[in-house]
Structure formats: C-alpha cells, structure tokens
Amino acid sequence: MKFHCAFGPNVHSNLVCVNDRFYCFTSGGVLFEFDPASRTLSHQAWDDVRFPEIHNNEWSYLPKELYLMEQKGELILMYTYGAEKPVMYKLVSSKWEEMSSTLDGLTIFASMYSSETRMDVLGMKNSVYFPKYGLRNNMQCVSYSYNDARYYPDQPERRLLCPVDSLWIDPPPFLRLFCM
C-alpha cells in the first residue's frame, strides 16, 4: 500500500515510532499518524503549533528544522531556526503544551533521521544537541543549554554526537549490559 504526502523535505520532522504507530509532524501544524496494523493514515491539525518562520522569505537564509521524538510514550516536538532558542512542545491529552524552560532534566540528541531523549545525563541535562547547517552545507554539532539560556558552539569532540546521518537506537533491556 502506498501513501503519498506532498510536502517538501525541509518542512517536516523525522519519523517516530510510539506505541506501534508511526508519526511525522509538518511545519503547518499537522501531525500524521500511520497505524501498520490497520494500514490507516490519519492526520490532525493544530492551529497553536505552526511555524511561520519556515515559510517566511524574510528568513529564507536561516537554517530551520523540526524534530519529533518520544519520551516515556509521549511525543515531543522541537523547532529550531537561526540563533533563536529551540521551541519545545509535548503532546499531552491531544493538546500540544510548551515545555518548561528547564526541560525538567531532559537531554535531547536530535538528528535528521531520529532523535533520542534521556533523563538526568550527568553534565548534559536540560540541553539539546543537534546538527546545525551553515553555508556550503558546513555541519556543526551545537548544543543549547536551557540552564544557561545560550548556545554552545561546535567542539571537535562533540561531533561524534551529531553525525549527519546518525540513527539513535535504544537497545532492548536485555542487551543494555552488553552495549555499555
């Protein structure tokens, strides 16, 4: 069965699997949900979570990204553009709520293909790590600290956290001992 979505490659999030369903979010405020068991694709639009900066030609030179991720069965959405603070939302009871300014100890590792969240990572909590693309497709791994309310520039040792084609995988519990 084929499903076609007519949106460009830079205006939707990565694909996320939560509770046996797949999700993708668009910059127009639409969450797509695919249920493989029933082979159905549905969507829901929210007026309060739209990102006009993505479509505004005034800011066309600024890098803009949407990242969707899961934390304890809940969807989290992150939007970044330029040097602005990343905007974070959590889907709670079918409503997007802006997350607290500290992320409550959460650490996020985001990439184009997948994102991973962890709680209370020593020396990294309340931070977001993600690739940022500059001129001539120059990629850097930047972080934003919600504790310090600022971006930290690229550091060579951090580039391993943000490879361009990274795919974060959470191993099954019985394999975690071998992966540490």
Among 64, 65, 88, 86, residue whose Cα is nearest residue 75: 88
Of the candidates 88, 81, 85, the one whose C-alpha atom is nearest the C-alpha of residue 108 is 88
User: Both tokens of residue 74?
Assistant: 């809940």
Q: Is the pLDDT of residue 176 over 80?
A: no
Query: What's residue 10's pLDDT?
Result: 47
The answer to whether residue 80 sits within a structural domain is: yes
Q: How far apart are CA 36 and CA 162, in angstroms?
A: 30
Phi, psi of 30 (to 5 degrees): -115, 130
Asked if residue 4 is part of any domain, the answer here is no
Q: What is this structure's pTM?
A: 0.77
* Whether residue 22 has pLDDT greater than 60: yes
pLDDT digits over 66-104, tens only?
889 999 999 999 988 777 888 899 998 888 888 878 898
Is residue 76 a part of any domain in this protein? yes
Please check whether residue 177 lies inside any domain of the structure: no
| pLDDT tens-digit map of 114-130 | 788 889 888 889 999 88
Q: Give the Cβ contact number of residue 81 at 10 Å.
A: 17
Closest Cα to residue 15, out of 82, 66, 74, 89? 66
Per-residue pLDDT band for 64 (boundaries 50, 70, 90) equals confident
98: domain range? 16-169
Strands 127-133 and 106-110: parallel
Domain-located, residue 7: no
Q: Residue 66's pLDDT is what?
A: 85
**pLDDT over 90 at 143, yes or no:** no
Whether the pLDDT of residue 166 is over 70: the answer is: no
Asked whether the predicted pLDDT for residue 171 surpasses 80, the reply is no
> What one-character DSSP code corresponds to residue 1?
-
> Tens of pLDDT along 23-36?
988 877 889 999 99
pLDDT above 70: percentage of residues in the chain: 67
Number of domains in the chain: 1
pLDDT tens track for 36-62: 999 999 988 877 776 666 556 665 666
Residue type (1 letter), 87 = V
pLDDT higher than threshold 60 for residue 149: yes
In a domain, 174, yes or no: no
State in Å, rounded, how far the first CA of the chain is from the last one. Answer: 39
